[in-house]
Structure 1
Amino acid sequence: MLDRKTLTFDGTDFQLDTYFLDKIGDFDKVVNHPLAIIIPGGGFNFHSDREAQPIAMKFASEGIHAIVLHYQLLKDGKSVYPAAVQQLATTMNWLKEVQAEHQIDLDKILLVGFSAGGQIVTNYNSLMTNPDTAKEVFKDKLNVTPRAVIVGYPVIDLEAGWPGDDEKIKQISPNKLFWHSQDTVTKNSKPAFIWQTITDQTVPVRNSLLYASKLEEMNLPFELHLFSSGRHGLSLATYQTQEPGGDKYLNDQVSKWWSLCMNWLKEIKVLPIN
């Protein structure tokens, strides 16, 4: 069931949409479930609904709790960074507070980002898993660490084709630390599942390649899927996220990313094999 939760960081409120799985009364033992924190895209100007609840419900159907983070956007003269990463860190710490109530497996937290949200996720996977940079960004102790990240058609490098405007890049972050999330990957970064289409005309596929190349250089586990055709923003690429009256967000081949991702989660032991 959807429930809206308000958290606060540095005097600013932000919202979470939570989709916690109900406890199964038939079981005598506590069953702790993995949890996915979903970071939708929207060019840092809005939060795409197509990459929010539909994704959360898919995770729930796989036995994974889900949370949608409504992170700091470009508005009222505010930058996205560092607030978006700080809000994600605050959310991670909050999970420890509610772990027992909602039966969360804190060793199996997934960060899931689409498009611009993918850059928030990959920045977190670089900066907040490194103790040195984590202290620069977030003064509080980090009580929960992600197990892995999943990114679809992600922005990785703000100078690799999107947004393509120097002024907007500076608005997104006046601090260059957040511009190139591949450059700050360390041995502490977590495994990644990456997917995109090579015909993406909004965020060039170079972004995914840059990230995968850096993960390979650091000898970190990852899985990369590049589909031969498809537009940006496909989300699930099924009828569940298609635009009414059209088919531009339908792509049968690309929709297979979901089953590929679930198989990967089994491979890295976030989900059971059977």
Structure 2
Amino acid sequence: MQKQELVYQETKFTLDTYFLDPIADYETQIERPLVIICPGGAFKFQSDREAQPIALKFNAEGMHAVVLHYQLIDGQHSVYPLALQELATTLNWLKTQQAKHINLKKVILIGFSAGSHVVADFNSIMLDPEQREKIYPAELEVEPAANILGYPVIDMTLGWPREEEWAMKISPDLYYWQAQEHLTKNGKPTFIWQTVTDATVPVMNAIIYAQKMDMLGIPYEMHLFGSGSHGLSLATYVTQNPGQEDNLNIYDAEWWKLCVNWLKLQEVLPKF
């Protein structure tokens, strides 16, 4: 893993990059898909459980991976619109990294919990030129091919955050609160998973985004598991916080296989 510092206007932010090395045996190098990971953490921090372990899983499937340390709540900035501008800057930066053999037509965004809100808002706002130009006047040179949302925050009026004061710190502009409200037919195919027993982010968040995608005719796949807590990450021992039994769920861990199958369906990964 290597750190990469980028700048949007005068704001610096960091990427953790997990680029696969070229295989010396190959006469022609493969241009590999890439995933940009937005971990959760309630916009207070970014969970390591949803960063490196996820990046390495994608590496094992033959994909490059980048963890985006997007804007959090601090004393100077709210999350939005800066997090969206940072994600757009990251996508455009990929175009300068072609020595890494990236397939720019197969860039995927994945978010967990609060990080899913960043991805969903990007899919809704930043892929619609009329909405995007209001906050990011530069051209978006690389567009994601698809999205993955894990136990997502979609609408900040649907139970998370519980305090309106915290939502106002995330964004004093209510425009950014409800990702589904700004989704257009420009949105990309999306894989969504969550548990119906999630006590932190109500499952209606996932449902309402899938419903809007369905209305617009945007391809999606959604899996709602019958049990499980919030913040599962891989739901295996790999991402278990020691002693936290609710981090483990053999049934919910199937989301990873389902997600890989979906990426094959989207022709991001080869079928064989």
TM range (shorter): over 0.9
Aligned to 1:183: 181
How far the C-alpha of 1:139 sits from its partner, in A, is: 1.5
- For the residues of structure 1 that align with 2:224 and 2:243, how far apart are their CA atoms? 27
Range with bigger deviation, 104-113 or 239-248: 239-248
The aligned counterpart of 2:50 is 51
Query: Paired residue for 1:116?
Result: 114
Partner of 1:42: 41
Mapped partners of 2:249, 2:54: distance in 1: 16
Q: TM-score of the superposition, structure 2-length normalised?
A: 0.99
Residue 150 (structure 1) aligns with: 148
The separation in 2 between residues aligned to 1:210 and 1:120, in whole angstroms, is 16
Helix, strand or coil at the partner of 1:248 = helix
> Where in structure 2 are the equivalents of 1:1-274 lying within 5 Å?
2-99=1-98, 101-274=99-272
* Structure 1: distance between partners of 2:19 and 2:77: 31
Q: Secondary structure at the match of 2:29?
A: coil
The alignment partner of 2:93 has SS state of helix
Moved over 4 A (4+): none
2-side partners of 1:206 and 1:140: how far apart?
34
| Greater alpha carbon shift after TM alignment, 73-82 vs 206-215 | 73-82
Q: Which stretches in structure 1 are left out of the alignment for 5+ residues? A: none
Once the 2 structures are TM-superposed, how far is the Cα of residue 245 of structure 1 from its aligned partner?
A: 2.8
* CA deviations over 1:168-200 (Å, ceiling 9, x no partner): 111111222211001111011000000000000
> Secondary structure of 2:133's match?
helix
Matched-pair identity in %: 53
CA–CA separation in structure 2 for the residues paired with 1:108 and 1:102: 14
Residue 208 of structure 1 deviates from its aligned partner by 0.1
- How large is the Cα RMSD of the aligned pairs? 0.7
Deviation, structure 1 residue 203: 0.2
Per the TM alignment, residue 77 of structure 1 is displaced from its structure 2 partner at its CA by 3.8
Shift of 1:30: 2.3
Please list every run of 5 or more consecutive structure 2 residues that lacks an aligned counterpart in the other structure.
none
State the 1:164 CA deviation. Answer: 1.8
State the 1:154 CA deviation.
0.4
- Distance in 1, matches of 2:194 and 2:79, equals 23
3-state SS of paired residue (2:68) = strand
